[in-house]
């Protein structure tokens, strides 16, 4: 569900013809890193800390995609916390977003997305 929501956002917030990339690699001590990147609308730095809040949608996101509920990343946050999965987001307006997921070798303690 986590990857599905992240990938769905990458697709939905990119413009026609833009690329979405997905890569993964194992970690030496077990677990994996999965990176989803897009060259979509991006997120303003001051709005980035709120993207995991329930029902939060930036003005730019609302303009680009009217159908979203603002719950996808809140679900990602809850699922990641439950599975001890690290979530890191980097974004810039009109440049795109990169989401890095850090999967543990086995479920660990909850981690706060940032």
CATH code at position 83: 3.30.565.10
pLDDT at 68: 72
* Entry pTM: 0.85
pLDDT at 57: 76
Is residue 112, in this structure, part of any structural domain at all?
no
Helix axes 2-12, 72-83, angle to 10 degrees: 150
pLDDT per residue, tens digit, the chain (114 aa), is 999 999 999 998 898 888 999 999 999 999 999 999 999 999 999 999 999 988 877 767 666 665 677 788 999 999 999 999 999 999 999 999 999 999 999 755 666 666
Give the E-state strand segments of the chain in sequence order: 20-26, 32-38, 86-92, 96-103
pLDDT at 112: 65
Give the total number of structural domains in the chain: 1
Is residue 110, in this structure, part of any structural domain at all?
no
Give the structural domain span for 46.
2-103
């Amino acid at each position: 569900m986590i990857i599905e929501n992240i990938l769905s956002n990458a697709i939905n917030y990119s413009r026609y013809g833009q690329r979405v990339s997905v890569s993964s690699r194992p970690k030496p001590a077990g677990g994996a890193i999965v990176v989803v990147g897009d060259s979509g609308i991006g997120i303003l730095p001051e709005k980035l800390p709120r993207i995991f809040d329930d029902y939060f949608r930036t003005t730019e996101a609302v303009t680009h995609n009217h159908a979203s509920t603002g719950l996808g990343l809140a679900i990602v946050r809850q699922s990641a916390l439950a599975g001890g999965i690290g979530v890191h987001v980097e974004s810039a307006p009109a440049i795109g977003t990169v989401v890095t997921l850090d999967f543990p070798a086995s479920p660990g303690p909850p981690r706060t997305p940032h």
